[in-house]
Structure 1
Amino acid sequence: MTEISFHFNVPDRMAYACRLLRKAVRRGARVVVTAPEPVLVQLDRQLWTFEPVDFVPHAHARGAEPLAPRLRDTPVWLTGAVHDAPHQDVLLNMGDALVEGFESFARVIELVPVDGPSRATGRARWKHYADRGYVLLKHDVAQDASA
């Protein structure tokens, strides 16, 4: 069964995602990131600039564009269509909607901000997973930062 982790009280989803992806790549993980296209474009830009001496190898898959064979082993994929992803290891959801096809991934990470409408949709996703019997792991980012 898919392992699902919620990271709550994320003050800045974009910066947090960059750090999370850097950590995942350092550990050898392969991650698919999904979100609305404008968020993916912003994340793509930020991954190029957030760390002056580090680089998070990533590719941005857009729509029906075929994947170049040389990019298949890229550890981080940014895509709105997870069924087209080249692997099914870890799924990072930066959007507010439940991701169709999430159950094909070994692990799902949901980012939930401190407040606003995205927090409410995060609660709805939590309820959706819990109602279907998934074991949910909770990481309170605000609490971790103060420790």
Structure 2
Amino acid sequence: MTQIDFYIVDEDATHSREQLLCRLVDKIWQQDRQIHIHTESSRHSAVVDELLWTYQAGSFIPHAVYQQGLATPAPVLVGHQDDPAYHSDVLINMAPQVPLFFSRFERVLELVNSVPEIRQHGRERYRFYTDRGYSIKTHNLGAQTAGAVR
């Protein structure tokens, strides 16, 4: 069964969630795991793409925006629509809803902060998983500890 992890950042700023995303991707990618970042729109995919390019001076996270028929997939894919047929290790969900294809991943990470709309969508996703019998690990990260991800 898919392992579900909720990362809760105790901070209102939208960038806190995005910073956590970059740190998690960097850490997971270094563990030689494939990652799919699911976003809510093509615009959001472009924002995440840019974040991964500029996240940290001197670092490089090989990634691509997912397109169906991608010849050689990158270890990290960013997308908002299709089920990424290439990856099945880690799904990081940045969209308001649970993606239909979540259960074929070994692990799903949900990132939530204190922005009311994001927090509410996070609660709905939490309820979705628990209603279906998934066990959930919750990682509460203060603003100062968001960099020390588990």
TM-score (norm 2): 0.87
Aligned to 1:39: 44
Residue 67 (1) aligns with residue 67 (2): no
Q: What SS does structure 1 have at the residue aligned with 2:145?
A: helix
The answer to whether the 8 A contact 1:32-1:82 is kept is no
Match of 1:58 among 63, 76, 96: 63
Deviations 1:27-64 (A, max 9, x none): 111100001222210110111111111100101114xx
Spell out structure 1 runs of 4+ moving beyond 6 A.
Answer: none
Match of 1:18 among 8, 12, 22: 22
* CA–CA distance in structure 1, aligned partners of residues 9 and 141 of structure 2: 6
Q: What SS does structure 2 have at the residue aligned with 1:16?
A: helix
* CA–CA distance in structure 1, aligned partners of residues 10 and 45 of structure 2: 18
The answer to whether the 8 A contact 2:34-2:87 is kept is yes
For the structure 1 residues 10 and 93, does the alpha-carbon distance in structure 2 shift closer, same or farther, using more than 3 Å as the test? Answer: farther
Q: Percent identity?
A: 32
What are structure 1's unaligned runs of at least 5 residues? none
The answer to whether the 8 A contact 1:58-1:77 is kept is yes
Which amino acid in the other structure matches residue 66 of structure 1? G
Q: What SS does structure 1 have at the residue aligned with 2:120?
A: helix
* CA–CA distance in structure 1, aligned partners of residues 35 and 10 of structure 2: 19
The answer to whether the 8 A contact 2:10-2:143 is kept is no
What are structure 2's unaligned runs of at least 5 residues? none
Shift of 1:84: 3.0
Shift of 1:85: 3.5
Residue 91 (1) aligns with residue 94 (2): no
Please state which structure has a larger fraction of its residues in helix: 1
Shift of 1:98: 1.3
